[in-house]
Structure 1
Amino acid sequence: MAKKRIIVVCGAGFATSTAGEDEVKKIVKELKIEAEILKKRVVELKTATSMGGADLYVLMTPTTVKLNGPSVNGVAFISGVGKQEVIEQIKQILSE
């Protein structure tokens, strides 16, 4: 299976993206998937998408940028609300 590219998007690039990144690392380890996980601030997103996109975007903040790949709402990793559903969505996307 090819290496997956995952971009975790947040407002400032600190706490929320780190929380999202930690959760994604656990998921890819469980699935035994090799992945490149990048943290990007929302203002960097347009540049990131123009450079090839990603297999998955984990959004820790809302964005109006048109994404060229599937995305999930990663806020559940901070709030805990709907966390298991987001984990299942990520597993489904990365297993395709």
Structure 2
Amino acid sequence: MKISTILVACGAGIATSTIVAQRVESLLKENKIRAELIQCTISEVGSLQSNADLIISTTLLPKVYETPTIVATSYITGVGMEKIDQQILDLLKSE
């Protein structure tokens, strides 16, 4: 089984990306999906995205990447989290 690589990005690569990473880790564990999560800053995404299967950010990204992206602001606000969960699962299961 393939182990996906997921970038979890926020402005500083610490606070909100940690909240999102914890939510994503739980989601993946519940659904028996193996993945490596890499927390980073928004500015690091460009140099890391070529090895990633998915980019999850806490804010809009400054450009469009070839790697699928999800803006997971819902994980911070608590509104619409199930929709983001499903998007992540759909993308990872389609690989």
Provide Cα deviations, 1:41-90, integer angstroms capped at 9, x if missing partner: 011111112xx231111111211233221111111000011111001111
Consecutive unaligned residues in structure 1, runs of 5 or more? none
- Report the more deviating stretch, 60-69 or 3-12: 60-69
**What is the one-letter code of the residue matched to 1:55?**
D
TM-score under structure 1 length normalisation: 0.90
Cα distance in 1 for partners of 2:40, 2:62 equals 15
**What is the one-letter code of the residue matched to 1:68?**
E
Q: Does 1:8 align with 2:35?
A: no
Q: Does 1:34 align with 2:34?
A: yes
Cα distance in 2 for partners of 1:53, 1:83 equals 26
How many residues align structurally?
A: 94
Q: Runs in 1 of length 4+ with deviation above 3 angstroms?
A: none
Cα distance in 2 for partners of 1:31, 1:69 equals 22
CA RMSD of aligned residues (A): 1.1
TM-score under structure 2 length normalisation: 0.91
Do the aligned residues in 2 keep the contact of 1:7 with 1:56 (CA within 8 Å)?
yes
Secondary structure at 1:85 match in 2: helix
The percentage of aligned residue pairs carrying the same residue is 33
Consecutive unaligned residues in structure 2, runs of 5 or more? none
Provide Cα deviations, 1:3-49, integer angstroms capped at 9, x if missing partner: 00000010011110000100110111012111110011011111112
